[in-house]
Structures are given as structure tokens and as C-alpha cells.
Structure 1
């Protein structure tokens, strides 16, 4: 990453590295360069483009020498590419990555359709047991963090906050209770279940759900590979995206002010901290009520089936 950043000169003629590329703005550069350079390094090692040492040399020393030549080639390659790019109108590798990837994604991201697509992918992947949040955030996290950082800069300068869709938007207003916005479902399991199985499960999931941890529900209810819970698990977080976006776009709800809050922070508290305004907590309460209503029918249907199985073993066999 350091080699991709063009050096600048101050008034005294001293060279310095712009530190802005070490915050969220440089994440895309670090990810992309890291992926390609690592593969190239491994390819050279497999091709035996290394310094060979006698068998009598200890492995730790031999491995260190083996890494010298591929490491030198990698550094030299990045340096040469940087010099070549500096001779073009783009001027730097980070500028190229921003122009072709980061900027288009950022324009798509800070829109309601963009947020809905990202959330749809997260929930859809989870249905098949794939950690959707990790998969999608691997691509979108640099964009969301950059948007959050821009809000922080605007807040510090006393200007209007430019972005709605940030890490705080998803972590604190959409994924309450975890992916799928399952906090409402957790409360139903804990306080409204009639079957013994779901009552027991409710005691286990209620606590973690308050801290946005829902693996006990995803794999214990289960939701993963369960077509009966497909609709609410996908639709509920999309409702949260829509209501929160509209609330913030119309200025009825304060936007995230650029403070990064751990995703495990409980709802209501996190809404206030993220926005610095009580409207953030109110928005979360509204979303939780809507989430609970969305899950209610499907929860009652499953609870009824479980209760029938417990009352009549023949139903369970069927």
C-alpha cells in the first residue's frame, strides 16, 4: 500500500506520504493490491523463483532467504507500476481504483435501491448457511466506512451530513438482533411461545439477540435451509432499510454522525449514540415493532406445529 501512494513535497522540500490513504479511503487499494500481489508471490514460489540454500541450513534461515527474491520482485513491480501511472493523467494507483471501482460503488451505495440490493444478498446467502454479512461487507465495507468517515468530517466541520447508508446504518438500524433483523423473533420465542421446544429455545436466544448475535436462532430454530422462514427473514430487514432510509432522507431521523459503534451495542442505546439524537432510538423502536409484526404470523404457524407434535406423537411421526 505504501508503495502505491505518490510522495508529496512540502514548502521546505521534504518528502511526505499523504496519511489520508491509510484511513478508509485506502481500503480498496489495500485489498486489491494485497490480493493480486499475494497471488503473484505464491506463483513465483511455486515456480521455484527463490534462493536455494544447502540442506544443512536450518529451515527458518532457508525460508527467509527463499522469500528474498520473490519479495524483491513484488516490491519492484509495484514501484514500477506506480511510476508508470504517475506519468498518466490518473497520477496514482489509488486514483485509478477510486475512478473505476470505489466511486461508482459509492454512488450506488448511498441510494435506497443500492442498500436494498446489498441487504437482499446478505439475507439470501444466510438462507443457505453462508455468512452473508461477511461476504457482502468484504466488498462494501470500504464504501460504508468511507461514507461514515465523510459524515464524521462534515459533523466536525458543522456541515450537513451527506450520507445515509454507512456501517452504522446497517449495524444499528437494519441488523437489530443480527442478520434478518431477528430481535422481534427472539422476543416472540422468549415470551409468546407455547410449545416446550420453542420456549426453551427462546430462553437461549433472547440474551444474545439483545447484542445482535443470532446464530442460536439461525441454526437452532432453524432459519438456515428452512423455507418456512424464508419470507420474513428476507423481507424484514428490507423493511428496516426502507423505513430508516426514508426517515433519514426526510430529516425526520438524524443521520449517523460518523461515530463507529461496535455492532454488538444493544438497540435503542446504539441508535442514540450513532446519531447523537433521540430520533435514532425512536427509529429503532419503530423498526423493532415492525419486525415483530412481520415475524408474528410465521412464528405462530411454527409454534402451532411444534405444539401439535408435542401433544400428539403421531403428528411428529407424520
Structure 2
């Protein structure tokens, strides 16, 4: 049910992610293609184009979150009733509940328009959309089962819809009166703690697992950086520039090891997942989603792949999703400790192809490129049996659905 809902919003996530990739890697000054292709020298009206791209990005990803809430609730209610009016009413209530949670409480003042917290209607809000859909769908389905009057195409959805809107409005008012911050601000603040000064194999492993776990739950955004991380990166870069030595004061940080060696393709080392999908040749659906996701994954934007397969909430793919980056992180830390590869010190631009991050970050060290290639092979080997297993499981579910439809 959640898998079906995620695949329904996959086109929106794909379009929104591609727009995000274009904006951040081509139109922003920190982008890889902006810097390497000197975009400002040949692209006219860049600012106006960027505004249009941002509109596509925000609109598509925002609608994807609303859509997944609607679809999850709709599909849950479809299990208990065939009436389309009930399904549509339940989906509409899920969208309404999600909107109530995405108002900025700081703007609740007389005479001022309300501001929507748009970030909650982007990739960070996908988990919230799934949760709201599950909650509203189950509550509405429970009400349908206990409806004592004869089923009616108008009366029941009208009654349950009215009660649902009133209850949702009441809870929304209580939420906005009690919540001093947005619905994800507190969570983000809490997650900053483990990242403060993260240095060393153990702490980086914890960051990797936490980041992967949140992405598996549907929070498709990287964990926030901290001032301590920025300071360590600056000290590493100053050491290289001033002494021409790669004996960095902070050799194990997110920038030196985690990003260049264990996050190729995005959280979960998903470039290895993409290669594994193409190696498993007997599942056309997986390969189709893989081809559609090639460009964003190469730029380390993996949301389409995580939504389309889906990896989110997958009972099969969660283990390799956490294990692959952990294995790459461990191997890379060992190679760095043995001085087989230099630590990455140069900051990488947004959208840099995953395998090139370590090469460029070490000033062109071939050993770093070699280690990145080994990590890609290692992550592909970890993902391969699970991708094959997921393909077999999906095929069995499809066959059972066809058999049930014929009965």
C-alpha cells in the first residue's frame, strides 16, 4: 500500500529532484557544472531561469508530499469499502491534516497572512505525509467498519467527512497554539547533537547509520552541518595550502571520509544500488526506475531511486542501505590509517559525480580514485543479493494480485 503510494508520486519526485539538481549544480555558484562550465559566461537571464526552476522544484515536491498522504489514506480506505466517495473523503482529510501541520506558528498574528513552512512540503516532509496518510486512513476505515446505518454514497462520507474536518481543525488549532516551532524544527535541532564535532570512525559510523535510518523512514534530506564541522574542514584545507602536507589535523570527518567514499550517489551509497539494479536483469520495473534515476543519482540526488523502487520502508532493502555505507566507511578509514590514500581536504561542489569527489578532494590522487572504485564494487556486491530478492518478492506479489483478481 505504501509502496503503491510512493510509486504514484514517483514522477513528481523525479521532476522535482531534477529541478533541484539543475538549480544547485548548474545555476548556483557552488554548483559543479556552474564552476566547470563557466555558466555565467554563456547562459542568459540566469536569475529568471533559476526562479522558474525553483517554482518547478517546490511545486512538484510539495505536491508529492500532499499526494502521498492522499494516496496512502485512499488506498487504506479502499480495503474496507468500494465506495469512491469514502476513499476520496479520506484522502482529502489526510491532505487537510497535513496542511494544518505545515503552518508557521510564528505568523499566527492578527492582520498578518499565514506562512506555510514549505520545507515540510519538500523531501523532508515525505515521512510526515506517509504518517498522516496512515493515521487518517486507518481512522476513517475504522469508522466505516462501525457505521451502523445502511451504506449510502452521500450520507456516510458527508457525515464522516464533516466530523473529520471538525476534529482535524480542532487538533490543528491546539497544535498551532502549543507548538512554538515548526513540525520538523525540533527534530532537526535534536539531530544536530550527534553531528557536533563528529570525528573518528565510531562517531562517523553513527552519523551514517542515523542518516540512513532517517532516509529509510522517508526523511530524504541530509543531516544539517554544524559550525564545528565547518571549522575542522577549514583547518584541514589551511594545512594543505600552507604546508603542502596531507597529514591533516582532522583526518576522519564527514568531508574527508564519509562524503567522498561512503555516500556516492547519496545517502546509503546508492550508486552501488543503481549498478546492482542493472545487474539484476529479470525485473523490468527496477531497471526502468533505475534508468530514470541515473542523472540525479550520479549527482548524488537519490530521492527518485528511494521513492521509485521503493527503498523507503522496504523490509528487504533496509539492511544493505545501512550496511553498504558502513562497510565503505570502515574500509576507507583503514586505508587512511595505513596512509594508502590521502584524506580529502578540498570542498566539493554540489552535483559533483560521486566517483570524482575523492579524486578532486585530494587534489587528483589516483589512489583515492582507486579506493572509490573499490568501494563502488563493494557496495554493489552488498546490494546485489537483496535487489535480486526484492525483485523475486515483487514478482510473487504481482502474481498473487493477478490470481486474486481472477477469482
Bucket of the pairwise TM-score, normalised by the shorter protein? 0.5 to 0.7
- Taking a change above 3 Å as real, the CA distance of residues 216 and 274 of structure 1, as seen in their structure-2 partners, is same
Q: Give the superposition deviation at 1:224.
A: 0.9
**Which structure 2 residues correspond to residues 234-313 of structure 1 after superposition, within 5 A?**
234-257=322-345, 259-276=346-363, 277-308=365-396
1:288 & 1:214 partners in 2: Cα distance?
15
Q: In the TM superposition, what whole-angstrom CA distance separates every residue of 1:51-77 from its partner, at most 9, and x where no partner exists? A: xxxx9xxx9xxxxxxxxxxxxxxxxxx
1:267 & 1:297 partners in 2: Cα distance?
23
2:337 & 2:210 partners in 1: Cα distance?
23
Aligned residue number for residue 173 of structure 1: 261
1:316 & 1:185 partners in 2: Cα distance?
32
2:238 & 2:229 partners in 1: Cα distance?
14
Aligned residue number for residue 219 of structure 1: 307
Q: Give the superposition deviation at 1:314.
A: 3.7
Aligned residue number for residue 157 of structure 1: 242
Aligned to 2:319, the other structure's residue is in SS state: helix
- Taking a change above 3 Å as real, the CA distance of residues 316 and 237 of structure 1, as seen in their structure-2 partners, is farther
Structure 1 residue runs of 5 or longer lacking an equivalent are: 1-41, 49-54, 60-100
**Which structure 2 residues correspond to residues 67-82 of structure 1 after superposition, within 5 A?**
none
- Taking a change above 3 Å as real, the CA distance of residues 308 and 195 of structure 1, as seen in their structure-2 partners, is farther
Q: Is the 8 A contact 2:280 2:384 kept in 1?
A: no
Q: Is the 8 A contact 2:355 2:372 kept in 1?
A: yes
Range moving further from structure 2, 208-217 or 263-272: 263-272
Q: Give the superposition deviation at 1:268.
A: 2.9
Is 1:142 aligned to residue 231 of structure 2? no
Aligned residue number for residue 131 of structure 1: 220
Is 1:114 aligned to residue 195 of structure 2? no
1:227 & 1:315 partners in 2: Cα distance?
24
**Which structure 2 residues correspond to residues 80-91 of structure 1 after superposition, within 5 A?**
none
2:214 & 2:326 partners in 1: Cα distance?
14
Length, aligned pairs only: 218
Aligned to 1:256, the other structure's residue is in SS state: coil
Q: In the TM superposition, what whole-angstrom CA distance separates every residue of 1:163-214 from its partner, at most 9, and x where no partner exists? A: 2214243322111011000111112223433122112112112232211111
2:240 & 2:263 partners in 1: Cα distance?
24
TM-score by length of 2: 0.48
Q: Give the superposition deviation at 1:47.
A: 11
Q: Is the 8 A contact 1:190 1:206 kept in 2?
A: no
TM-score by length of 1: 0.61
Aligned residue number for residue 90 of structure 1: none
Q: Of the candidates 164, 167, 192, which is equivalent to residue 280 of structure 2?
A: 192
Aligned to 2:354, the other structure's residue is in SS state: coil
Q: Is the 8 A contact 2:196 2:226 kept in 1?
A: no
Aligned to 1:268, the other structure's residue is in SS state: helix
Aligned to 1:228, the other structure's residue is in SS state: coil
Q: Give the superposition deviation at 1:302.
A: 1.3
Structure 2 residue runs of 5 or longer lacking an equivalent are: 1-104, 113-191
1:123 & 1:236 partners in 2: Cα distance?
10
Greater CA radius of gyration, 1 or 2?
A: 1
1:312 & 1:169 partners in 2: Cα distance?
45
Q: Give the superposition deviation at 1:306.
A: 3.3
- Root mean square deviation, CA, Å: 3.1
1:302 & 1:105 partners in 2: Cα distance?
36
1:315 & 1:245 partners in 2: Cα distance?
51
2:302 & 2:396 partners in 1: Cα distance?
26
Q: Give the superposition deviation at 1:141.
A: 3.4
Aligned to 2:226, the other structure's residue is in SS state: helix
2:261 & 2:379 partners in 1: Cα distance?
12
Aligned residue number for residue 86 of structure 1: none
1:269 & 1:185 partners in 2: Cα distance?
18
